[in-house]
Amino acid sequence: MSYLRSPKEDEEIFREEIEKKPHEKKILFFGLTQTGKTSIIKTVFEGRSPEGTESLAATVRFERMKYDFGDHSIYSFDIGGQTSYLEEAIGFLKQHIFSDVYALIFVVDIANVGDYTLSRQYLLKIVRNAFQLNDDPLIYLFAHKMDLITEDYRDEALTVFSRYFDLEKLESVKLFTTSIYDESAIKAIEEILEK
Ligand X SMILES: Nc1nc2c(ncn2[C@@H]2O[C@H](COP(=O)(O)OP(=O)(O)OP(=O)(O)O)[C@@H](O)[C@H]2O)c(=O)[nH]1
Which chain residues interact with ligand X by CB under 6 A? Answer: 31, 33-39, 53-54, 56, 58-59, 80-81, 144-145, 147-148, 179-181
Question: Between residues 83 and 172, which has the closer beta carbon with respect to Mg ion?
Answer: 83
* 36, interface contact from ligand X, Mg ion, none, CB < 5-8 Å by kind: ligand X
Residue spans of beta strands (DSSP E) within 2-71: 25-30, 62-69
Question: Between residues 62 and 157, which has the closer beta carbon with respect to Mg ion?
Answer: 62
Identify the residue among 26, 27, 36, 38 touching Mg ion (CB under 5 A).
38
Q: Is 43 in the site for Mg ion (CB under 5 A)?
A: no
Across-strand partners of 107?
Answer: 142
Dist. CA 16–CA 26, nearest whole Å: 16
Contact 53, 43 (CB under 8 A): yes
Q: Roughly how many angstroms between the first and final C-alpha of the chain, as a whole number? A: 45
Identify the residue among 59, 76, 129, 177 touching Mg ion (CB under 5 A).
59
